[in-house]
Amino acid sequence: MTDRQTGPRPPVRYRPLSPLREHLRESFWFAPLLACVAAVLLAGLTAELDEAVVSQSVADTGSVDELLRFNSAAKSVVSTVSSAMLTFIGVVFSISLVALQMAASQFSPRVLRLYVRSRLTKATFSVCLATFLFALLVQFSYDDSTDPAELTSVPVFSSVVAVLLVVLSLGLFVLYVQSTTRLLRVPHVIDRVANESMTVLLQYRLMPAESVPPAVPADAYTLLHEGRSGVLRDVNIRRLLRIARKHDAVLHLVPRIGDFIAPGTPIVRVTGERPPRSRWIAQALNVGVDRTMHQDLSFGFRQLVDIAIRALSPAVNDPTTAVQAVDRIHQLLAMLLHESFGDLCHRDRHGAVRLVEPVPGWSSIVDLAFTEIRLCGAGHPQVTRRLTAALDDLLRIAPDRRRPELLEQQVLLVRAVTQEQGDPEVRAFALRPDRQGIG
């Protein structure tokens, strides 16, 4: 059964989410590679400009005496930059990685993806590498001739560009240190996860809703996964739509984004007379070792819950961090209260449904949001008071169709606290709603 509303929805221009941009953001090699290519091109350009300076000086004055006095200092500057920059890169980023490992052990290993996706981190690393490579290539282009009559190049532009790159590297380094320091503070990590979750939710709001998705016949052809094992990170919706349109079929995706799939796992049920080949479908699936936020509606909740239960573990014992995670879970659930749930129906250019994608329902999201935190935090009044306040607030604004799951969580919370706290006064205190937990 679907939970999609049948009411009219204003028309929107929807473009299927392409995974390419997200794949590049998840990678750490693309930006440094572009920066190194730019450094090679820039080194060649400045070498030609340096030669042009010598030619122009000879044409204007008939000598290069003025440039010879600048030659030694410029070469010294470029040499210093090339020798110091690589050491600078190694020290800075090795210290940062140690700090991030400590953050991963305290919060959740999933927070490392925030570091990898950070544009500032990639920009700093890329500019530092480009500065080193540029200075190294400039030294290869040096003209070591001591005879002014044979001198063809003086690193005028090269030294100026090298200094500018160093200044840019230092500026980015200051911003990078500030950004890394923020990633070591749990409120900023929780805020980043919540903001990414809201971005995913807003993207899926653009998807056209179907009151009833196309039914899957009992004799529908089932395609099995033939690729490598791993987590289904995302799917290339555009490619699947093209495949379905080409074969005049409707593809019903079996696993949800975030599910683990292995060879032989059913991945698509095909409605149509010409089922596509399994390998074509496999090429449209991005399977990896971990989940991403790109198309995964529940991964944001998963990260917030992980941070909360890690904070409630005896090794950390930090219920305040768990309360901060519950704040954001409360925020995301409030956004989902009036959203429609059910299978997503993707259409081709002619408006025909070609791909049906399963997504988590309201019940499963509520279970994910509250169950583990309730079990781990039943003995922490600060956490139970915040959970009580969140449930009360959600029940106050929830439509009737969303209330049963929230009421069930409220009953389970009371039961967990009753089992954990034998004293009636302590139990009443632990179940008193408080948006701050305990002040």
339, 321, 345: which is closest to 399 by C-alpha? 339
In a domain, 3, yes or no: no
In a domain, 342, yes or no: yes
What element of type H or E holds 80? helix 65-106
The Cα–Cα gap between 322 and 179 comes to 23
| Residue 258 shares a structural domain with residue 300 | yes
DSSP string, 331-374: HHHHHHTT--BS-EEEE-TTS-EEEEE----HHHHHHHHHHHHH
The Cα–Cα gap between 339 and 3 comes to 10
Last residue of a domain, one of 184, 207, 230: 184
| Residue 244 shares a structural domain with residue 386 | yes
| Residue 178 shares a structural domain with residue 285 | no
- State how far Cα 407 lies from the chain centre: 33
What element of type H or E holds 234? strand 230-235
| Residue 145 shares a structural domain with residue 230 | no
In a domain, 191, yes or no: no
Put the strands of the sheet holding 285-288 in their side by side order: 260-261, 230-235, 285-288
The Cα–Cα gap between 16 and 259 comes to 21
| pLDDT confidence tier of residue 382, bands split at 50, 70 and 90 | very high
Q: What is the pLDDT of residue 410?
A: 95
Greatest alpha-carbon pair distance for the chain in Å reads 99
In a domain, 251, yes or no: yes
| Residue 167 shares a structural domain with residue 305 | no
The β-bridge relationship of strands 344-347 and 260-261 is unpaired
List, for residues 50-92, the tens digit of each pLDDT value.
Answer: 777 666 655 555 555 556 666 677 778 888 888 888 888 887 7
Q: Are 145 and 151 in contact (CB under 8 A)?
A: yes
Domain that holds residue 349: 217-439
Return the DSSP state at 229.
-
Q: What is the pLDDT of residue 3?
A: 47
| Residue 312 shares a structural domain with residue 405 | yes
DSSP, collapsed to helix, strand or coil, labels residue 345 as: strand
In a domain, 134, yes or no: yes
List, for residues 300-355, the tens digit of each pLDDT value.
Answer: 999 999 999 999 988 888 999 999 999 999 999 999 988 877 788 888 888 888 88
Express as a percent the part of the chain with pLDDT over 70: 85
Q: What is the pLDDT of residue 104?
A: 73
In a domain, 247, yes or no: yes
In a domain, 8, yes or no: no
Q: Are 260 and 274 in contact (CB under 8 A)?
A: no
| Residue 28 shares a structural domain with residue 156 | yes
The Cα–Cα gap between 387 and 121 comes to 36
In a domain, 429, yes or no: yes
- State how far Cα 135 lies from the chain centre: 33
| Residue 54 shares a structural domain with residue 173 | yes
The Cα–Cα gap between 279 and 226 comes to 7
- How is residue 366 written in tokens? 């509520």
DSSP string, 131-183: HHHHHHHHHHT------TTT-----HHHHHHHHHHHHHHHHHHHHHHHHHHHH
Q: What is the pLDDT of residue 60?
A: 55
The β-bridge relationship of strands 353-357 and 250-253 is parallel
List, for residues 143-202, the tens digit of each pLDDT value.
Answer: 655 555 555 566 778 888 989 999 999 999 899 888 888 877 888 889 989 998 888 887
Last residue of a domain, one of 162, 184, 206: 184
Q: What is the pLDDT of residue 15?
A: 46
* φ, ψ for residue 14, nearest 5 deg: -110, 130
Q: What is the pLDDT of residue 387?
A: 96
DSSP, collapsed to helix, strand or coil, labels residue 321 as: helix
Last residue of a domain, one of 184, 206, 230: 184
Structural domain total, the chain: 2
Angle between helices 65-106 and 30-61 (to 10 degrees): 170
- State how far Cα 235 lies from the chain centre: 16
| Residue 164 shares a structural domain with residue 249 | no
pLDDT at 376 over 90: yes
Q: Are 271 and 248 in contact (CB under 8 A)?
A: no
The Cα–Cα gap between 207 and 224 comes to 27
| Residue 255 shares a structural domain with residue 180 | no
Q: What is the pLDDT of residue 65?
A: 56
